[in-house]
Amino acid sequence: DGNPAKLYLPRDFRGGFCDLEKNWNNGINTKGFPKQSFTMNTSASTDLIVKHFMCSTAVVRVMMGREALLPPAKHFDYLCACCLVPCWKCEGSVQTGDDFSDASKLGDAVGSKLKELQGLTDPARLYSAGGANGNVFMDMWSSVDKYLTKVCLKECNVDFNSMNASSNPREYNFSPSPDTVMATAFTLKTAAIAGSGDHQREITNLQNTIARDFKFKALPLDVCPYHESRCVPMPGIKFELASPGYCTFGMTGAVVAAISPAASQAFVGLGGESLASGIGETFGKWVGDFQRSIPAFIIVTIMAFVTGFIYLVLLRFAVGLCVWLSIFVVLLIMALGGASCYVRASQCAGADFLETGKQIGAGALIAASGAFSSGCDEKLEGEGHNYKGCQKYSKGLNKCIKWGDASSSSIMKKYSLKFGSDAGTGIVPAAVYSDRLHNDYCRNPCDIAGADCNAKSIWCFTSNADQAWEECQPVGVVKPTCSNGYAIKSSEMRTLLEVCAYVLWALAVLYLIGVICMTNRIRLAIAVSKVAAIFMRQNTMIVLTPAIQSLISCIWCLVWVLSASFLLSQVPDDAVDKGAFLTYAEAYGTDTTPGKCTNSWPSGSVWKDETNCEQINGTYACWRCAPPRYTFDWRFAVSFFVFLWNNALMIAIGQFVVAAACSCWFFTQNSQKGSTGVIRKAIHWTWRYHLGSLAFGSFIIAVLQLIRYIMMYFEQQAKAQKNAVMAMILRICQCVIWCFEKCLKFLNENAYIQIAIRGSNFCVSAMNAFYLILRNAIRFGVLAVLSKGLRVIGIFFITVGTGVIGYFVFTSMYDDMTPTIPVVIYIFVGYMVGKLFVNVYGIAVDTVLQCFLACEEMGKVDAGENGYLPNQLRGWLKEKPELD
C-alpha cells in the first residue's frame, strides 16, 4: 500500500503531493500537475490595501457612525483590527497610506493600488517606491513565503499570458478570511442602503469600489486545480525549473530593467533569476568538466591506492619516527597550551600577546638561572626609587651595562656615580641620588615629582644597540606589572585561565613521566605496528576486502531503502486531526503547549483554509493540519532491525577476514610469509566455520543500536509533547547506551580476533578477549593511542597525496578546464581510500598484538627462517623452560 514517491514528490500549501491522484483527507487530485510553483497569496498581498480601505475615516464613519452598519459589540474588535486603538494585536498604529474621509477619493487611491496587483499596469510599478503601493513589495524577497503560495501546476512559467490565452478564465472576488473581524466589516458590499442622501451616496461609492476593484483574474482549472483564490498570478514574476519537480522564481526582464541596479543586486542575492540560472550553469559546467575528465579520475583513483601502499612501505621504516614525533607533538601542545593560557591571563591592556610572552619567558629564565645573590633585597615599592636588588637584565632579556660606563653615550654619562658639574643641567637634575647607581643593576634614580627623568619603574641601559634602555622587573617576578589594567577585565576569567595553565602543565609533566615509564611498551607498540605494515605490504589484496565489503553493503542498502520507502510512505489516515481549529497556536502549539497538528513525531504542518472555514460555537475555525511526509510503525522497526543486523554482520565479516588472514600469516614460517594464500583461507574459514559466531556477535550490536534508536524516537516524541525533562532523560539514556555500544564493539572486534587465532565460539572468545585485555590493559591502551595517531597520519598522507597527484594529472591532461571541482573529488577519493587502508591496518595491528600475547603466554619463541615469529618481535619474547 506504500508509495515511495511520497518521500520526494513536491507538496503544495495544504500538504498535498503534486502529480498524485489521491491525496490525504480527500485532497485535490493533482495528477498531471507535477511542478511545485507559486501563485499570489491574496490575503497577505492585499492586507495593507484592505486595511487602508476599511480603516479609513470614510469607512469607519459608515461602519460606526450614526447609522452604523456594524453592531456595537463589534466596534472595538473592528478598531483593534485597524490598530486605531491600543490593543493586544497591535504595537502601534499602522501606516497604510493617506487617510480619506471622502469615499470617492478613497476608491481612487485603493483602486490604483489594486490595479498594480491585478497586473493591469506596468509590473515594474509594483516593486518601485514610485508606485501606488510605495515600497511595500520592494522587500517581499526577504519574506517571500508570506506573499506567495505553493501550488502544483503543469508547468513552471504560468502567468497572466497563460490566463489570458485560456478559453475558460476564472475570476476571484476577494473577501477577507471569515475568522477575522475584517470579514464582518467587509459585508459592507452587500449592506442595505438606508438613511439620508449623503449617507446613501457614501455607501454606494464604497460598495462600488469593492465590487469594481476587489476582483482578480485567476488561472483556469485545467492550469491550476485549486480554488480561484489560490490561482491568482503574481505580477512581474516569472518561474523556471530549478530541480526536478521544483520551480524557482525571479523578476521578469521588464521589472529588472525598471528598478535600480542596487535593488537588482539585492534580488540576485536573495535567490532570484540570475542566481538560479548561474547555479544551474555552474553546476552543469562542473558535471560536464567531470565527465570529460573521467580518464584522469580513473588514473587518480589508481594512484590513490599506490599512495596507500607507499605509505605502508614508509611506515615500515618510519613508524618509530612517527610515533616518537607524535608523542613529542602532544607534549608540546600541552606545554604551549598552558603557556598561552598563562600569558593571556597576564597580558596588560594594550600590550601585544607575543611581547607579553617574551617578557614572561625572560622573567622565568632569569628567575631560574639564579642571577641574584641571597643578600639582595628584591622588594619593589611604588616606582622603585628605593629598589636595592640585583636585577641585571631588562624585560626583553637584554643585558644591562654599568652605570657611567665610558663606552656609553653622552646622555648616559650623566647617570654616573658622581655627577660633578653636569648635575642640574636639565638632562639629569641635581637631586638625583647618585649613590643608588651601583654596577650594572637596574635602578630608578630620579624621584622628583614632575621631572622628565622620573620613570614608571626600575630600568637600565642595555648592551643592545637597538634598545638603548628598557624597563626591568625584580628578579623572581615573572608576570608583568599592569599599571593600566589587564587585557581581560574579569579577574575571575584571569584566574580561570591561570588555573587552566597550571592544569595543562601538570598534565604535561604527568604525560612525560608516563612516557618515560612506558618506554618499553611504546617500543613494543612500534614493533607490532611494523609487523602489521609488513603483513599488509606482503598481502596487498587484503585492502580490497573492505572495498568489496562496502560495495556489497551499498547494494544491500539500496535494496533495503527501496523496501523501507514503502513502509515509510504509508502515513495512516488518522496521522493528524482532520478538523479545523480556531487559532494557529491551537493547531501548531506554543513553546510550552503541543499543538493538535504537531503533538507527535513525525509532525504534521499547519495551513489556513480560508475558503472552507467551519463554525465552532459561532466562531470561524480556519486552521487545518497537513499530514507528515513519512511515518514510523512496528513494521519499519522490524525492517530497521534487519538493516542494523545486516550492517553489523558485514562489518564483522570484514573484521574477521582481516584478522584470520593476519593470524594465519603470523603463524606461517618466516621463509614462506607472503607466498601463501592466507586471504583465501580466511574467507574459507569465515563461511565454513564461524559465520554463526559472527552473526551472534553482530546480533548483540544490532539490538543495542535498535534500543538507542528507539530512545531517540521517544526523545522526539517527548519534544513534540513539550516535555523537556523526559527528552533530557532519554538523551542521557542514549549517551549511556552509546558508550556501552562502543565498549561492546571494541570487545567484539577482539573476540573475532580470538576466534581467528583459537577457533573457539563467540562466547568463549569474548570471555578470552575480555580477560586478555584486563591482563594487558596498559599494552592495549598504549597500542590503541599510538594506532589512532598512525591512522590519522595515514589518512592525511593518502588524502593530501591523492589531491596533489590529482591536481598535476588533471592540469597536464586538461589545461583548458578549471581543476577546482575535480580536485575536490580527488581529495574525497583519497580520503575514502585512506579510510580503507587505515581500517585494515588497525585490525592488523590488534591481531598482531594478540598473536604476540598468545606466544608470550604460551612461552613459544620460534624465530629464524624456519620459525614463525617476525624478527621485529624476537627480542620481546623469552621461551619458558619446559617442566619435567
Are 614 and 621 a contacting pair, CB within 8 Å?
yes
Q: Which of 134, 113, 150, 213 is nearest to 626 (CA)?
A: 150
pLDDT at 265: 47
- Gap between the terminal Cα atoms of the chain: 76
DSSP-derived letter for residue 689 is T
Burial class (CB in 10 A: 0-12, 13-18, 19+), 114: buried
pLDDT at 662: 92
- Angle CA 860–865–871, to nearest 5: 65
pTM to 2 decimals? Answer: 0.72
Helices 294-346, 491-517: axis angle to 10 degrees equals 120
CA-to-CA dists, residue 101 to 48, 92, 159, angstroms: 18, 22, 37
10-residue stretch averages of pLDDT, the chain, 884 residues long: 84 92 89 92 90 88 79 85 84 81 88 89 82 79 80 85 71 87 72 63 84 89 91 86 80 64 48 39 55 81 85 78 83 90 84 80 72 66 79 82 62 48 45 61 72 74 81 80 79 88 92 88 85 86 81 83 89 89 92 91 90 88 92 93 93 92 90 84 92 95 96 94 94 95 93 92 92 87 80 86 90 79 85 83 89 81 74 71 47
How far is 259 from 140, CA to CA, in rounded Å?
14
Task: Give the sign of the dihedral formed by CA 13, CA 14, CA 16, CA 19.
Answer: negative
Task: Give the sign of the dihedral formed by CA 691, CA 693, CA 698, CA 699.
Answer: positive
Are 598 and 604 a contacting pair, CB within 8 Å?
yes
Give me 511's grid cell: 604525560
pLDDT at 726: 95
Query: Which amino acid is located at 502 in the chain?
Result: Y
How far is 377 from 372, CA to CA, in rounded Å?
9
CA-to-CA dists, residue 866 to 39, 835, 848, angstroms: 83, 35, 19
How far is 470 from 453, CA to CA, in rounded Å?
14
Long-range contacts at 633-642 (CB < 8 A, ≥ 24 apart): 633/567, 633/570, 635/567, 636/564, 636/567, 636/568, 637/706, 637/710, 639/560, 639/563, 639/564, 639/567, 640/564, 640/706, 640/709, 641/702, 641/703, 641/706, 642/560
Give me 334's grid cell: 600541552
Bridging pattern class, strands 237-243 and 246-251 = antiparallel
Give me 166's grid cell: 485560456
pLDDT at 257: 64
Are 409 and 473 a contacting pair, CB within 8 Å?
no
Are 175 and 186 a contacting pair, CB within 8 Å?
yes
Cis peptide upstream of residue 602 (ω within 30 degrees of 0): yes
Contacts of 209 (CB under 8 A, 6+ apart): 53, 103, 106, 107, 110, 111
How far is 378 from 794, CA to CA, in rounded Å?
54
How far is 59 from 202, CA to CA, in rounded Å?
9
How far is 157 from 436, CA to CA, in rounded Å?
92
Give me 235's grid cell: 505580477
How far is 536 from 534, CA to CA, in rounded Å?
5
Identify any residues that bridge with 173 across adjacent strands, giving them in sequence order.
Answer: 215
How far is 700 from 689, CA to CA, in rounded Å?
20
pLDDT at 281: 41
pLDDT at 874: 79
How far is 34 from 31, CA to CA, in rounded Å?
7
Biggest alpha carbon distance in the chain?
A: 133
Bridging pattern class, strands 619-621 and 623-626 = unpaired
Contacts of 392 (CB under 8 A, 6+ apart): 371, 399, 400, 440, 441, 442, 460
